Amino acid sequence: MRQADDGATGLTESQLRAMEMAGEAAVAYRKNLPHQPARPSLGLDEAVARFSHPLADAGMPDESVISHILQASEGAIHKMTGPSFFGYVCGGSHPVGVAADFLVSAWGQNAASAYESPAITGMERAVCGWVIELLGLPAGSGAGLVTGASLANTAGILAARNALLARQGWNVEAMGLFGAPEIPVLIGAEAHSAPLAALRYAGFGSERAQRVATDDQGRIDPAAFRQALDDCSAPPLVLLQAGQINTGAFDPFAELIPLVHERGGWVHVDGAFGLWLAAVPALADRLAGVQAADSWAVDLHKWLNAPYDAGVVIVRERRWLVEALSARGAYLPDVTQHWEPSDSTPELSRRARGVPSYAILRHLGRQGLREMIARHCHLAQRVADCLALTPGFRVLNQIHSNQVILACEAGDAMTMKVLEQVQARAKVYPSHGEWAGHKVIRVSISNYAMQEDDVDLLCTELEEALIVCQ
């Protein structure tokens, strides 16, 4: 292939063109977003068929590959970055984070090693430090940049496992789990599936965990919790939740956490999205006491709107995180002295996934972050207030943060019909859920750009869909 610039760049013309095309197409995509339907026009099978061909013997020029990807993806990219997306608690890939993400790929740094990629380590340490401080968590906690809350929960639970077993005189790193002392596990009846999966990954089994009764908002009931604690035969691992996926509610941390500590247990908090409320002084009392826990999981790609994929595990006593995750071997004495990013994450080689979050936090500043979180909570209340007045709909939750769940008075079939109608109209995109044994329409407000007009359009679309379906 012919070299560009007399070969001085080390890149071929085709390589340069491919990078430019991708950059231009990415910007054009975001500029054109307001004119795009809220959901893909292409179905799954058709989209998959566009890519399922045998791998040819002969390769393609770089720019042809990029134009193929662009053409074949046409109509099959979901408008998840736009303020019309109300599904699944997704962020919107903030543009400044996207811009920084371009650099992440171009730089191609392996974030595993502080010595080899110092700028990345600098930015990642800054992000971890800021997140700890913004959320009011203990200074000096250990933190690792992982792919999201699923892995952050897993990492926190692994740290807890090591600490709780060590307190019972068992070195799990050396001995594994076979023959280890029991660790009772308590988790709320309305916990997200991610911490249950994490329990499985960590060898606890999801069914061994005792599910503690919750109230009508999905918060752990303190009386049931005390009873469950009394039944524990050893210091327990307790999984609490900051932000129930349907209601957005918070467990009563101030009441529960001291009870666990009195019994020598460990509290891990799944705060995938809800923990961000702690960064807003006016709202932080909704999570009062959460800072007393031992470990926390929080996403960056949800409420911070970082591009996928990024989350943080935070552990009060860093040594437990390092012992559980360092690929260098937990019992090496230098592990805690020579700080390596890979000591706090399950991966060794890793994308520099903290860089986009560094950019977003620098861009927003404390004020911008607080404004965004508070605005989303205000918008959730606005949706609830509007739909509570609409005959035919019922709002099923109190507004604790950014989540609203609603159902049709006519029952589950009508709820699903209305949701399908709204999605098919493709102006906005809420998603589905289940609550108290019933189908619900779930509205998550977490896109950085979302404003009153966007949620008003959502309400209008829901109201019109209900009329069509009745």
Which residues make up the interface to ligand PLP (CB under 6 A)?
A: 89, 148-150, 192, 194, 243, 245, 270, 272-273, 299, 311
- 251's tokens: 């467990």
Residue with tokens 């893909």: 40
C-alpha triplet 408, 411, 417: angle, nearest 5°: 70
CB of residue 437 to ligand PLP, shortest distance in Å: 20
CB of residue 117 to ligand PLP, shortest distance in Å: 24
CB of residue 39 to ligand PLP, shortest distance in Å: 19
- 378's tokens: 């205000």
Phi then psi for residue 407, to 5 deg, are -140, 160
Nearest CB to ligand PLP, comparing residues 170 and 448: 448
CB of residue 244 to ligand PLP, shortest distance in Å: 7
Nearest CB to ligand PLP, comparing residues 235 and 271: 271
Q: Are 316 and 295 in contact (CB under 8 A)?
A: yes
Q: CA dist 351 to 155, 256, 309, 310, 341, Å?
A: 18, 37, 10, 10, 11
Nearest CB to ligand PLP, comparing residues 97 and 235: 97
Q: Are 309 and 330 in contact (CB under 8 A)?
A: no
Nearest CB to ligand PLP, comparing residues 22 and 257: 257
Rounded to whole angstroms, the Cα distance separating 403 from 422 reads: 18
Q: Are 93 and 276 in contact (CB under 8 A)?
A: no
Nearest CB to ligand PLP, comparing residues 89 and 373: 89
Nearest CB to ligand PLP, comparing residues 154 and 342: 154
Label residue 24 exposed, middle or buried (CB < 10 Å: 0-12, 13-18, 19+): exposed
Phi then psi for residue 214, to 5 deg, are -125, 165
Q: Which residue intervals of 148-221 are DSSP H helices?
A: 149-167, 172-175, 193-201
Nearest CB to ligand PLP, comparing residues 192 and 316: 192
CB of residue 273 to ligand PLP, shortest distance in Å: 6
CB of residue 89 to ligand PLP, shortest distance in Å: 5
Rounded to whole angstroms, the Cα distance separating 460 from 467 reads: 11
CB of residue 45 to ligand PLP, shortest distance in Å: 25
CB of residue 187 to ligand PLP, shortest distance in Å: 12
Q: Which residue has its beta carbon closest to ligand PLP?
A: 148
Q: Are 380 and 443 in contact (CB under 8 A)?
A: yes
Q: Are 440 and 432 in contact (CB under 8 A)?
A: yes
Rounded to whole angstroms, the Cα distance separating 122 from 354 reads: 10
Nearest CB to ligand PLP, comparing residues 121 and 344: 344
Nearest CB to ligand PLP, comparing residues 189 and 457: 189
CB of residue 241 to ligand PLP, shortest distance in Å: 6
Q: Which residues contact 70 (CB under 8 A, 6 or more apart)?
A: 21, 25
